[in-house]
Amino acid sequence: MSNNVLQDNIDKAQAHIDSKKEQAKQGKMRQRYHFMAETGWINDPNGLIDFNGKYHFFYQHNPYDSYWGAMHWGHAVSDDMLHWEYLPLALAPSEPYDNHKEGGCFSGSSIVHDGKLFLIYTGTTNYGEGFIQTQNIAYSEDGIHFTKYENNPVIQAPEGVPADLFRDPKVWKHGDMFYMVCGASRNKRSQALLYRSADLYHWEFFNVLAESRGEWGYMWECPDFYPIGDKFVLMFSPMGGGERSSVYLVGDLNYETGKFTYSVSGEIDWGFDFYAPQSFLDRHGRRIIVGWANAWDWMPWWKDWGPSFTEGWCGAFNTPREVMLCEDNTLRFVPIKELEQLHCDEVLRKDMVVEDTPMPFAAGDGVAFDLELEVDLAGTRADEFSLLLRSDGQKQAVITFDLKRQMMYFDRENSDGWSKGCTKSPLLLADKRVMKIRVLSDQSSIEVFTDDYKTNHSCNVFAGNGQNQNAIVAKNGELKVISLKTWGMIKVMDEK
């Protein structure tokens, strides 16, 4: 009976999506090659998996509004993580444990077992005494139509963990056992709780995988845990972590005790709009992560979710990135090579000297482009230099590399008449003679990568097509450019 309610609620939401998606496609802020929902609200990526020859992206979704609301799971598949086919919604609120107007089917992950695709997700409800979050299971034979497990919930918050701060399960298998890490809070300190199971349905608490002493906030949202090389990585988005939005820890796991110890920590992205990244292992053996390109209202820099709500939609994903382990056990996050399929109109300039007068450069249509810049640090005499992006002569985003103070800034205060704030991070310049910079610009976002993809800033910039001028400028001296290569980017979203 309950799965009839699930299907009814999916059909109802799907009908609403179908009635609104053509209108949303006309939105002037719609991304051209970054993943979006067809209409409505999107936040965390969920259940990312390479299954039955397709890449599956699930996502937190409110199909009824361009604001956050009762959470459904949207679903799309692709052959290359660029061209997408939208499938029917995978999950909708339908049960007492997940059917609430301010709750629903919250974030989670997926795994293949016995030929079936399992979704493990957080159900959020309120029976009148506060929100309760539990971990639940749904499964599918075809990877499209899902049935919720009749004995849900399978895990409830343990003693000492607030019932409204226990969510976002990430599941994997090692040997004959399944493991699950959940984000939690105890005594106002963050925890990643580890569970294990022999059959995916019956779970026992194993250990506190890792925890904060306050330096990483009071709640770890969307924890992800995976091996890479001979190390393990714990990723999370900390609540109460100040300006941090996505953190990684690298260390070692003892499967005998269920304890993770780390020796390296870092930022996945320093930007305002990169949150809740989830990883998966793809058919090529790559560890791919995808993040949500937006921010929450409790973050210190938050203004609002941007003007796209007027177009009937809100939210997109960042560019998928491959995680790579470096010799010093830090991580780098490299945009997937598949993006090269979208390149057009290549322009290459070499051996330029840039001074304090902005030097314009061509980059596709000036809106959607890929840019690679190499700077000769040994031959440069400037204190700093800036990329002036998405400009109309008045409004522009300014990306500054301060060589004297070894800092990077992404200033969007005057970028579009809407966005606010300036991100900042140190630069890793020690002993470097060449600096490489990568920029991926789309209709309403700019992602900047440097320090061999270790220092990354992703920010939304809601600039119209008239903001299509781009330039580079130096300050207090000469900037020696080895090469500046740009490509336009073919539009692939909203094409169907």
DSSP result, 392-442: SSS--EEEEEETTTTEEEEE-TTSSSS---EEEEE---TT-SEEEEEEEEE
Give the SS3 label for residue 235.
strand
Residues 286 and 382 in one domain: no
Clarify whether residues 35 and 155 are in a common domain. yes
Q: Is residue 493 part of a domain?
A: no
Give the pLDDT confidence of 384-433 residue by residue, as tens digits.
999 999 999 999 999 999 999 999 999 999 999 999 999 999 999 987 89
Domain assignment present for residue 494? The answer is no
Q: Which domain does 450 fall in, by range?
A: 343-488
Distance CA 470, CA 458 (A): 18
Dump pLDDT digits (tens) for 21-30. Answer: 999 999 999 9
Domain boundary among 335, 365, 392: 335
Pick from 335, 365, 386: which residue ends a domain?
335
Q: Give the 3-state secondary structure of residue 458.
A: strand
Instruction: Answer whether residue 496 is part of any domain.
Output: no
Same domain, 373 and 233: no
Residue 17 backbone dihedrals phi, psi, to 5 degrees: -60, -45
Q: What is the distance in angstroms between the CA of the first residue and the CA of the last residue of the chain?
A: 35
Measured distance CA(53)–CA(61) in Å, rounded: 24
- Which residues are identified as catalytic? 44
Q: So what's the pLDDT on residue 303?
A: 87
Residues 296 and 399 in one domain: no
Q: Does residue 495 belong to any structural domain of this protein?
A: no
Q: Is 60 exceeded by the pLDDT of residue 458?
A: yes
Q: Provide the CATH number for the domain around residue 224.
A: 2.115.10.20
* Average per-residue pLDDT for the chain: 97
Give the span between the Cα atoms of 184 and 186, in whole angstroms: 7
- The pLDDT of residue 322 is 98
84 and 123 co-located in one domain: yes
Q: What are 266's strand-pairing partners?
A: 248
Cα dihedral sign, 194-197-203-206:
negative
How confident is residue 246, by pLDDT bands cut at 50, 70 and 90? very high
Sign of CA dihedral 372, 378, 381, 384: positive
Q: Is the per-residue pLDDT at 380 higher than 70?
A: yes
Task: Return the sign of the alpha-carbon dihedral for residues 267, 425, 334, 109.
Answer: positive
Residues 6+ apart with CB under 8 A from 165: 133, 157, 183, 184, 185, 219
Q: Which residue has the tokens 């579009």?
A: 416
Tell me: do 257 and 137 sit in the same domain.
yes
Q: Has residue 431 been placed in a domain?
A: yes
What's the average model confidence in pLDDT over 226-252? 96
Residue 1 has pLDDT above 70, yes or no: no
Q: Residue 356 sits in a domain of what CATH number?
A: 2.60.120.560
Question: Quick one: 200 and 130 in the same domain?
Answer: yes
Whether residue 225 sits in one domain with residue 143: yes
**What confidence tens digit (pLDDT) does each residue in 121-147 have?**
999 999 999 999 999 999 999 999 999
In a domain, 462, yes or no: yes
Tell me whether residue 192 is in a domain. Answer: yes
pLDDT band at 495 (very low <50, low <70, confident <90, very high): confident
Number of domains in the chain: 2
| Residue 292 counted as domain residue | yes
pLDDT at residue number 301: 87
C-alpha 24/C-alpha 310 separation (Å) is 10
CA quadruple 302, 405, 440, 245: dihedral, nearest 10: -30
Looking at the DSSP bridge assignments, the partners of residue 191 are 184, 211
**Same structural domain for residues 288 and 358?**
no
Do 288 and 426 have their domain in common? no
Last residue of one domain, picked from the residues 335, 369, 388: 335
Residue 295 and residue 301 in contact, taking contact as beta carbons nearer than 8 Å: yes
Q: Are 145 and 285 found together in one domain?
A: yes
pLDDT 10s digits, 48-85: 999 999 999 999 999 999 999 999 999 999 999 999 99
Q: Give 8-23 pLDDT, tens digit per residue.
A: 999 999 999 999 999 9
- Is there a contact between 295 and 231 (Cβ–Cβ < 8 Å)? no
- pLDDT at position 431 is 79
Residue 114 contacts by C-beta under 8 Å, 6 or more apart in sequence? none
Name residues whose C-beta falls within 8 Å of residue 207's C-beta, 6 or more positions apart in sequence: 194, 257, 258, 259
Q: How far is CA 259 from CA 175, 192, 316, in A?
A: 17, 10, 34
Q: Per this entry, what is the length of the chain? A: 496
What is the Cα–Cα distance from 191 to 382, expressed in whole angstroms? 45
Q: Give me the half-sphere count of Cα atoms (radius 13 Å) on the Cβ side of residue 446.
A: 29
Residue 160 amino acid letter: G
pLDDT of residue 305 exceeding 80: yes
Tell me: do 260 and 303 sit in the same domain. Answer: yes
